[in-house]
Amino acid sequence: MTALHSRAIGRDLLRRDGRLKVTGTAPYAYEGPLGKPAYCHLIQATIARGRVTGMDTTSAQAIDGVITVLTADNAERLASTEDNELAVLQSDEVAFRGQIIGAVIAETSEVARHAAGTVQVTYAQEPHDVELSVDRADLYKPYKINPAYPTDTADGDVAAAMASAPVTLENTYTTAMYHNNPMEPHTTTALWDGSLTMWDSTQGVHSARSVIARVFGFDHEQVRVVCPYVGGGFGSKGTPHAHVVVAVMAARATPGRAVKLALTRQQMFFLTGYRTPTIQKMQLAADRDGHLAAIALDVVEQTSRIKEFAEQTGMPTRSMYAAPNRRTTHRLAALDVPVPTWMRAPGECPGMFGPEVALDELAEQLGLDPIELRIRNEPSVDPDSGRPWSSRNLIACLREGAERFGWAERDPAPGVRRQGDWLVGTGVAASVYPTYRMAVSTATLRYERSRYVVEIGAADLGTGTWTTLPQIAADALGVDVDDVDARIGDTDYPIASVAGGSSGMSTWGSAIVEAARAFRDKFGTDPADGDEAEGSVSPPTGKYAMHAFGAQFVEARVHADTGEIRVPRLLGVFAAGRIINPRTARSQFIGGMTMGLSMALHEQSVLDPRFGHVVNHDFADYHISVCADVGDVQAHWIDEYDPHVNAMGSKGIGEIGIVGTAAAVVNAVHHATGVRVRDLPVTLDKVLAQLTPN
Amino acid sequence: MKTELSLDVDGEPYHLAVDTRMTLLDLLRERLGKMSPKKGCDHGQCGACTVLINGRRALACLALAVAHDGSEVVTADGLAHDGALHPVAQAFLDHDAFQCGYCTPGQICSAVGMLDEFAQGWPSAATIYPASEPELDHDEVAERMSGNLCRCGAYANIVPAVQDAAGQMAPR
Ligand code: FES
Ligand code: FES
């Protein structure tokens, strides 16, 4: 791979879409000017399992302004019902509470919502089961874990190493159920006039199109999906959920008239996916110097009865540290619950919680600094694949972080620093995230009115794509970045992979570099107006194990009397290849760390076993970090250029910020108080219960 | 049921009949096509819909349109003047105090309203008494901006942006 000479790459450039965003005029999926749209409001099941035996829509139909009511009785039959989550209104079966059982289409949003509430539903209810536990008899081994990794791995003999090693640790850690909760609710505006146009809040217009085309049996050419701006997604907008299907049904019921369907915040807790809770049994065996003899992680998690999603929680343990004996397993319970999905760093985020807290505990047992323990177990090649690292600078991150954070003066003793009423401690954890490059993406480069225009159906979730793609194109063409425009977020532009797995820049950027090469080969440096070339990404060679690494450092203060936890300082150092735009990159890193802090201290979806719903299904009760919860958050990176990952030498950065953060918080709380909380979130009741009064 | 009302939005007068159930937020977005205020929760829990009503920050999703007959409403879009961004908006841009931008118009309206509250001597939970000369330090800004959620986690940039804008708007 020939390296790009970087002039625009690496520059701190303002967001190109910034002005639209600070004035609120960037059009999100609900916001296009569309004449007189109709509005759609969903009707949801109020039981967690059973059948709908009747829906009386008479009073709803009679309300002035109601256009029609869709139910399983009158909704169109879908061409493909293979994906049960999307087979909406196709049968009377209810598989989880909150499932869509109907929809009202009306002249205004008020009428639609009011009418939806008047529909009388009767059910044949069956007993449901929504409780995940580690000892369920029906836990099963999925065929693969997300997206296509082996379910279990084993090397050597962990049991023998546990029996013979001088120092061992065996603990269970749990992470909660979390909801992505992007700030912009999931929304689809759909217009059917023989072909379909969807303004959908999505992380991938092309993937949304292919899913909808398959479900309805449309040709791709019949479907256009538009989404220039996304109000966050964090995975939940990575693939269409059931409401998108309903929006299209609604549009087809009102041909020629656009229909708007915006989920309410509450509905999102049932319908747009979430991160499964995980139960992580962790085993470590080590010699007295801290060299690991064994590392094992056995994970239990949930999926829904109608669709499997197997979070790859054991993945980071497969690669992170050296140990001759190793094992990871995943077992699932299929419950009467909504369908789980991707949430920021699926696998790595929950999967670095147990292991990174366990390492902190092992360091304490050994009387070794937790950074030193990690350094001693640095693997020379990827323990999972046996392949060499394309680059691995975890140690550099740990060392630089230690330096910046002031780790050297740290007294390792837990629970001994008191300032006034506050117990003070610090903690560290490592992070990892794979560097993916998707197999399919194409960019077009055109010379248009003396400017270079890149077109690709990519997405900007706040990640900076509008700004960073021109930076890559400028360097690939050898022109000034101000002479390059980007056009994204529309299936009228060439196919682009979904913005997921932190793969956007690597994938789309690679396609742009290829397009620029083709353009220069064809037209030289003096192109004519309208000259155009195309380029596509090529799959990775598979020669190297490719990952970004990082380390998070946390200062925690715990109130000695109340157990209240504050985090005044959060510092991350990352090794993520070349940084395309330091401004947008810093925002991604601090955003990820802030979400990790939120996961550590605040977030938890509480599922009521009696009714099968998340009781805290709004922002009053599902707490995410607010401004006052967040202190000094710093992101730094080491100067890394990785020639093997892609032509830019860059790795994805959207997810790694969250990965180790929760473990670092827990480790800092332990250092402050001596209390080890192994179940997220770390709330004051859990700390207070073990805090010895003094 | 419909009721007539008059309203000034971003400097433009409107006179219209609205469904009495309609919130000010839906009036702005669905009737007037003013999409600058965002709907994040519709329950007064996120701040995305924050606008200025007669100069005070308010949650448009909790305001019934009919209760605001005769009011002057300013959205983040209306804060710009003659093509120049409002100093708070400019500071958000300069500090990259957002990612997806969905919470941003609400954050900006909230900050504008908050700076005015601060200038008038309104205390907050973070104000230390006696506050002879309260400072707009990190804790004051963070406390006063905590009604505006940002899932992208831009808080660490939002606080300096607001402080920066405050400094520019009222040079001491
Ligand atoms: S939409 Fe008004 S506070 Fe959330
Ligand atoms: S910028 Fe995305 S929610 Fe604040």
**Chain A residue whose CA is closest to B108:** A22
According to DSSP, residue A390 is labeled S
Ligand 1 pocket, residues with Cβ under 6 angstroms: B 39-42, 44-49, 59, 61
Q: Please state the atom number of ligand 2 nearest to the C-alpha of residue A231.
A: 2
According to DSSP, residue A145 is labeled B
Residues A428, A384 share a domain: yes
Q: What does the pLDDT read at residue A692?
A: 76
Is the C-alpha dihedral spanning B144, B155, A682, B45 positive or negative?
A: positive
* Residue of A20, A21, A599 to mutate when probing chain B, most B C-beta within 10 A: A21
Element (DSSP H or E) covering residue A353: helix A353-366
Q: What does the pLDDT read at residue B131?
A: 59
Residues A488, A376 share a domain: no
Residues A423, A331 share a domain: yes
User: What number is the average pLDDT over the span A172-194?
Assistant: 98
In whole angstroms, give the CA distance from residue A688 to residue B169.
45
CA nearest to A518, candidates A462, A594, A457, A454:
A454
Query: Which domain covers residue A528, as residue numbers?
Result: 18-27+438-536
Burial A63-81 (b: 16+ CB within 10 A, else e): eebbbbbbbbeebeebeee
User: What number is the average pLDDT over the span A520-531?
Assistant: 97
Name residue A496's amino acid.
A
How far away is chain B from the Cα of A118, in angstroms, using its nearest Cα? 16
Percentage with pLDDT > 90 across chain A: 97
Burial A208-239 (b: 16+ CB within 10 A, else e): bbbbbbbbbebeeebbbbbbbbbbbbbbbbbb
Q: What does the pLDDT read at residue A503?
A: 95
| B101 CA to centre of ligand 1 in angstroms | 15
| A232: chain B residues, CB-CB within 8 Å | 99-100, 102, 151-152
CA nearest to A602, candidates A661, A657, A561:
A661
Across the A:B interface, residue pairs with CB atoms under 8 Å apart total 191
A655 is catalytic: yes
What is the maximum alpha-carbon separation in chain B? 52
| A114: chain B residues, CB-CB within 8 Å | 21
Q: Is B155 in the pocket of ligand 2 (CB under 6 A)?
A: no
CA nearest to A559, candidates A691, A389, A404:
A691
Provide the CATH number for the domain around residue A353: 3.30.365.10
Q: Please state the atom number of ligand 1 nearest to the C-alpha of residue B44.
A: 3
| B159: chain A residues, CB-CB within 8 Å | 627
Q: What parts of chain B have a pLDDT lower than 50?
A: 171-172
**Chain B residue whose CA is closest to A186:** B40
What is the maximum alpha-carbon separation in chain A? 79
CB of A274 closer than 8 Å to CB of A307: no
Q: Do B151 and A232 touch (CB under 8 A)?
A: yes
A540 half-sphere exposure, CB direction, 13 A CA radius? 20
Q: Do A182 and B142 touch (CB under 8 A)?
A: no
Question: Does CATH number 3.10.20.30 belong to domain B2-79?
Answer: yes
Q: What does the pLDDT read at residue B172?
A: 41
A95 token code pair: 């598989």
* Residue A554 pLDDT greater than 50, yes or no: yes
Reduced to 3 states, what is the DSSP secondary structure of residue A95?
coil
User: What number is the average pLDDT over the span A186-194?
Assistant: 97
Which residue of B152, B155, B159 sits with most ligand 2 atoms within 8 Å of its CB, as the best mutation to test the pocket?
B152
φ, ψ of residue A223 to 5 degrees: the values are -125, 130
Q: Do B151 and A234 touch (CB under 8 A)?
A: yes
Residues A242, A196 share a domain: yes
Name residue B111's amino acid.
A
Q: Is A232 in the pocket of ligand 2 (CB under 6 A)?
A: yes
Which residue of B29, B30, B41 sits with most ligand 1 atoms within 8 Å of its CB, as the best mutation to test the pocket?
B41
| B20 CA to centre of ligand 1 in angstroms | 19
**Residue ranges per structural domain of chain B:** 2-79, 87-169
Residues A584, A490 share a domain: no
Phi-psi region of B67 (alpha: psi -120 to 50; beta: other; left: phi over 0): alpha
| A463 CA to centre of ligand 2 in angstroms | 11
User: What number is the average pLDDT over the span A82-95?
Assistant: 98
Q: Do A231 and B102 touch (CB under 8 A)?
A: yes
Domain assignment present for A624: yes
Q: What does the pLDDT read at residue A467?
A: 98
In whole angstroms, give the CA distance from residue A206 to residue A500.
13
Last residue within a domain, chosen from A248, A271, A294: A271
Domain assignment present for A386: yes
Residues 6 or more apart whose CB falls under 8 angstroms from that of A107 comprise: A38, A39, A65, A66, A67
Residues A582, A680 share a domain: yes
Q: Is B41 in the pocket of ligand 2 (CB under 6 A)?
A: no
A84 half-sphere exposure, CB direction, 13 A CA radius? 16
Laid out side by side, the sheet with A50-56 consists of: A93-94, A50-56, A120-125
Residues A662, A562 share a domain: yes
The rounded mean pLDDT for chain A is 97
Q: Is A462 in the pocket of ligand 2 (CB under 6 A)?
A: yes
In whole angstroms, give the CA distance from residue B126 to residue B54.
26
Residues A379, A307 share a domain: yes
Domain assignment present for A147: no
In whole angstroms, give the CA distance from residue A211 to residue A239.
8
pLDDT-derived band at A582, boundaries 50, 70, 90: very high
| B26: chain A residues, CB-CB within 8 Å | 109-110
Q: Do B101 and A587 touch (CB under 8 A)?
A: no
* Residue A48 pLDDT greater than 50, yes or no: yes
Q: What does the pLDDT read at residue A1?
A: 53
According to DSSP, residue B63 is labeled S
CB of B1 closer than 8 Å to CB of B19: yes
Burial A677-693 (b: 16+ CB within 10 A, else e): bbebbbbeebbbeebee
pTM: 0.98
What interface predicted TM-score (ipTM) does this complex get? 0.97
| A630: chain B residues, CB-CB within 8 Å | 142, 153, 155-156
Q: Is B138 in the pocket of ligand 2 (CB under 6 A)?
A: no
Domain assignment present for A166: no
* Cα→Cα distances A583→A377, A393, A480, A640, B146, Å: 33, 22, 19, 17, 24
The domain tally of chain A equals 3
Options A85, A356, A455, A655, the catalytic residue: A655
How far away is chain B from the Cα of A86, in angstroms, using its nearest Cα? 25
Q: Do A619 and B45 touch (CB under 8 A)?
A: yes
Domain assignment present for A510: yes
In whole angstroms, give the CA distance from residue A525 to residue A211.
40
**Chain B residue whose CA is closest to A29:** B35
Residues A225, A361 share a domain: no
According to DSSP, residue A24 is labeled T
| A364 CA to centre of ligand 1 in angstroms | 46
Domain assignment present for A194: yes
**Chain B residue whose CA is closest to A622:** B45
Q: Angle A492-A496-B39 (CA atoms, 0-180°, nearest 5)?
A: 75
Residues A548, A523 share a domain: no
- B7-35 pLDDT per residue, tens: 999 999 999 999 999 999 999 999 999 99
Q: What does the pLDDT read at residue A474?
A: 98
Q: What does the pLDDT read at residue A675?
A: 98
* Residue A346 pLDDT greater than 50, yes or no: yes
Residues A115, A232 share a domain: yes
Count of beta carbons in the 10 Å neighbourhood of residue B34: 24
Q: Is A150 in the pocket of ligand 2 (CB under 6 A)?
A: no
**Chain A residue whose CA is closest to B74:** A23
A457 half-sphere exposure, CB direction, 13 A CA radius? 23
Domain assignment present for A403: yes
Superfamily per CATH, domain B87-169:
[2Fe-2S]-binding domain (1.10.150.120)
| B89 CA to centre of ligand 2 in angstroms | 14
Count of beta carbons in the 10 Å neighbourhood of residue A425: 24
CA nearest to A662, candidates A588, A524, A556:
A556
Phi-psi region of A386 (alpha: psi -120 to 50; beta: other; left: phi over 0): left
Residues A230, A310 share a domain: no
CB of A181 closer than 8 Å to CB of B48: no
| B105 CA to centre of ligand 2 in angstroms | 10
Round to the nearest angstrom and report the end-to-end CA distance of chain A.
62
User: What is the β-pairing status of strands A547-559 and A422-434?
Assistant: antiparallel
